[in-house]
Each structure stands twice: as structure tokens, then as C-alpha cells.
Amino acid sequence: MITRLDIENFRGFRRLVVEDLGRVNLIVGRNDCGKTSLAAAAVASISAEGMILAAAGLATRDGEEFDPKMVGDFENFWRPMFHGGDADRGARVGDVRIRATESGMFAMGSPSWSVAITDPKRTLTLHQGVPDVPLERRPDVLWTGAIADLRRGFRTAFERLVRDGREGMALDAVRAWNAGIERIELLGANVLVRLSGHPRPLPIAVLGDGSRRGIDLAVKLGAVNDALIGIDEIDAGLHHTTFRPLWAWLRRVAADRNHQVFATAHSDECVLAACRAFQEAGDDGLRVIRIDRTADGGHDAKVFHVDRALEMLENDAEIR
């Protein structure tokens, strides 16, 4: 489990160190303060593949489908990973380093470039987005954005749940915020749901954003063990009445499956529900991380344990 994040020249962070991290870490702060970048930094700190996954998650925040060709777009995929776009200077998250260099021009006038990502085990180099060695499959690191992505990794995760006999655990989680869902099914490339009162399965598109997001989270988190998981805008698309069951489930699955979670949120109601879920269970595994910009253009992060965060929220004080 990561207990400390040491970040240098990554995204908007010139330099930032965050210590005393927990099993579940809920990142809060004002708009454009670096919440998503901090969650992505945790994912990137795992390995070279984690760095690529973080870049992919950040490049598709608006819900567009990930296309492997994106990795070959240096300006839009890779340059935003460096503070101030300074790819020559490089960036570092923990023991994972990334640096990019231009290596001349193609005949048509476009620049030729390479990205080198070094983790404690190896250096992975990508030339125009093509890695010099095959990428390792890393089921121990996941990223899920604010919009449910039922294309990338969902089928594999669901099939693993069914094979391991854990489908019921995911359904219990989903029913906590939509009691009408009786079953999830796959038909070819399509995800179907059986709803109470309907004689046949329906496309998952009939559900609202919140229910689709819940299914995506429940299936992907329940299908793996010992994973580091980044969840951007965990409260997006969810009604405030679902926050308590969401956090009660997330607390259980993180403990049972030995996950470490880094999630971002905007809503004080969501943060309050998280604190109460952990306090009622006698679980000190939650940290609330408040991130702010400083007067000199840097960043500051404060880490709060459950009792202190809950005390501030219940007294209508901003966590800071």
C-alpha cells in the first residue's frame, strides 16, 4: 500500500509530497486545484503501465472512447503529463519517471519523438506511441472516470466475477442504489440488465448515468484483488441518497479485496457519507485529502483522519 506520494513536475504539480495515506483516500478541493491529477499520480506511481493508464484516463475524461492511436498523439496525450508542458525536463511520481524527446523530423514535416518511462524494474520506451517491448497486463491497477466506460475492461471483469462465483457481491452493491436491477447479462458486445417487472433483458442504456456508473464500479472493483484504483468524480451522476450505501460497499470491498482507492469528489454530502460509513464501522482506513493552490503557484495538501474531517463537516466548516 502506498503511504506517501512524492510528485515532481507531473501535470500541474511543480512539487508536492503527500504523506499518511490510507486504504481509501478521498481527494477534495476547489475547481481546477489538482484533484484528478493527484488521483492519476497515485495510479502512475505503480509502474510504467500505470503511467500509461493514468495518461489514458486523463485524455478521456469527457467520456470519449479510448483509442490506442491516442498514445501516438504526443501533443494531446503526453505533453499534458509534464508540468508546464516541459517534456524535456521530465516528470516523476514516486520511483516512476517519464521523459520525452524529439528525435528529428519526418519527411512530411511532423516531429519524430520518443517517451521513456522508467520504473524500478525496467525502462519502457515508446516511439511515436509504439512500445519497444510488449506491455504487461496489470490487473492490479485500474482507473475509472466520471462517465461509465462499459467497453474498456468490463467484459473481462464480469466474466471473471461469474467464473469466481462473485457475481452476487456485485449485484448486492448495484441494488443498494437501484433495487430494481435483478441481473446483469452479456450478449455479444452488449451489456443487458434484467429489471423487476420486465419479462426480458434490456440494454443497459435504459438506465440512468448513476446506475451505469454503479454497475461499472461494482463489477471492476469486485473482479480483482490487491489493486490500486483511481476513481475520478465518484459522486458524478449519483443522487445524494446513494452516497451512504456506496461508501459502505466501497469500504467493505476495499478491505475484503485488499484494494487501495484514490477517489475525487465535489460534494460535501459525499464526503460526509464517506466519513460516517467508516466511523460507524470503526474503520480508520479513510483519509480525506484537501488540496489547494498556494500563492506562489504551487500546491498544498492536508490529510485528515475520519474523526477530524467529520467534526469539521458537522460544524459546517470547510475541510481545509
* pLDDT tens, position by position, 232-283: 999 988 888 889 999 999 999 999 999 999 999 999 999 999 999 999 999 9
Residues 207 and 261 in one domain: no
Residues 161 and 64 in one domain: no
Residue 319 resides in a domain: no
Domain final position from 194, 223, 252: 223
- Is the pLDDT score of 109 beyond 60? no
Instruction: Compute the distance between CA of residue 218 and CA of residue 4 in angstroms, rounded to an integer.
Output: 27
132 shares a domain with 39: yes
On whether both 60 and 182 belong to a single domain, the answer is: no
- Nearest alpha-carbon partner for 263 in 302, 231, 222: 231
Asked whether residue 47 falls in the same domain as residue 130, the answer is yes
pLDDT of residue 67 exceeding 80: no
* Domain shared by 62 and 32, yes or no: yes
Mean pLDDT calculated for residue range 209-223: 87
Higher-scoring residue by pLDDT: 134, 236: 236
Beta-carbon contacts of residue 114 (< 8 Å; ≥ 6 apart)? 100, 101, 103, 125, 126, 127, 128
Tally of domains in the chain: 2
State the chain's mean pLDDT as an integer: 87
pLDDT at 111: 64
Task: Note down the domain range covering 180.
Answer: 150-223
Residue 110 lies in a domain: yes
With 60 as the cut, is the pLDDT of residue 110 above it? Answer: no
58 and 196 share a domain?
no
The cell for 10 is: 507531473
Q: Please answer whether residues 186 and 247 qualify as being in contact, where contact means their C-beta atoms are separated by less than 8 angstroms.
A: no
Final residue of a domain: which of 223, 246, 268? 223
Same domain for 93 and 179, yes or no, is no
Clarify whether residues 83 and 108 are in a common domain: yes
